[in-house]
Amino acid sequence: MKFSVTNKFKLWIIITLVVIVAGMVMLGVFGLNTAADYRNGCEIKVSVDQDADDSAVNLKKYTEEYFAEKGVKTVSYATQTSPDGTMFIYKINEKPAFTGAELTEFLNDKLGTSKAVAEAFVSETVSYGELQIWQTAVPLAIAAVVLTLYVMIFEKPASAIASLIASVIATGLFIAVVSLARIPAYPFFGTGVAFTFVFAFVLATVTSNRFKEESKKPSNSGASFGEIADLAAKASLVRYLFTGLSLLLAGVVLGVLKIGYPSFVGLMLVAADVCAVFAAFVWTPVLWAALKKANVK
């Protein structure tokens, strides 16, 4: 069967619209999945060394007993282990009615004659998730202008417009997927949006370069814009697969670690990678062919 991306544009429209509309509905109803760090709240860290058997297990049990006694409801927790000991990090949405020193005293009393020594820290977290998103918007806008001008100068307006629109579609898909999959938004949502846009634009630029090369080949002198776009997409396929699968593998590895922020990074990376690769590979040739048919240079 002949390889063609442009002939399946109706399928790409359906897939894109279904994902984006479903994601926007989910976003409108439930909002982003905001972990405790995203809002004002507290982070409670409890740690213990490894001098005694089952010290980490007991630490977790006693800590959660204390939380239950004080009426503390945790939103999430993560575990960090090192040669020096084990740390449990709990996220809550309100400031607790106890101090780190009080929790430390309770835990060491519970551990009793064990050689393990427990420490607890309570610290407030500030909601700067929204601030990060706005801080990302400015450099993202600058990147969009610079990348578009670059492609417009070196690859012609049709390629620049196609790359820009494909990148915007990738960004919309990313936001929708993050919302649908309930991926924790903080603290990497703004970074994920920026990465998706830039990564999609870079991939689209690779394909745009192929448009020019395929158009100059004598063997393609009689080819339609759609056929040239398909040839360019086919020529770029190996690069897409190698780059996309490499990032996908990295994201999956980080995602399965389930140790707090690295896990969030992995999930964001998987979403950004899939959305950017799909949008750049599918929409860049489709849009370029449509623009050329509309007599855009």
Annotate 194-251 with DSSP letters as a single string: HHHHHHHHHHHHHHHHHHHHHHH-GGGTT--HHHHHHHHHHHHHHHHHHHHHHHHHHH
The whole-angstrom separation of Cα 73 and Cα 90 is 10
Query: Could you tell me if residue 249 is inside a domain?
Result: yes
Is residue 172 located within the same domain as residue 283? yes
Single residue among 125, 154, 181 that ends a domain in this structure? 125
Among 90, 125, 160, residue at a domain's last position? 125
CATH number where 78 lies = 3.30.70.260
Percent above pLDDT 90 for the chain = 16
Mean pLDDT of the chain: 79
Answer whether residue 114 shows pLDDT above 60.
no
In a domain, 244, yes or no: yes
Q: What does the pLDDT average to over 160-168?
A: 90
Range of the domain at 93: 40-125
One domain for residues 204 and 288:
yes
Q: Which CATH number does the domain housing residue 199 bear? A: 1.20.1640.10
Residue 277 reports pLDDT greater than 80: yes
Q: For 18-36, what is each residue's pLDDT tens digit?
A: 999 999 999 888 887 765 4
Same structural domain, 156 and 284: yes
User: Which pLDDT score is estimated for 176?
Assistant: 94
- pLDDT band at residue 240 under the 50/70/90 scheme: confident
Dihedral, 49, 52, 57, 58 alpha carbons, nearest 10: -100
CA distance linking residue 259 with residue 255, whole number of Å: 9
Q: What are phi and psi of 171, to 5 degrees?
A: -65, -45
Helices 9-30 and 261-293 pack at an angle, to 10 degrees, of: 140
Shared domain for 169 and 99, answered yes or no, is no
Same domain, 252 and 147: yes
From 70, 105, 125, give the residue that closes a domain.
125
The span from the CA of 16 to the CA of 177, in Å, is 11
Same domain, 201 and 162: yes
What would the pLDDT profile of 70-101 be if each residue is shown by its tens digit? 888 876 677 777 777 788 888 877 778 888 88
Report how many domains make up the chain. 2
**Is residue 180 over pLDDT 60?**
yes
Give 242-267 pLDDT, tens digit per residue.
888 888 888 777 766 655 566 777 88
Residue 219 tokens read as 């063997």
Which pLDDT band, with edges at 50, 70 and 90, does 1 fall under?
Answer: very low
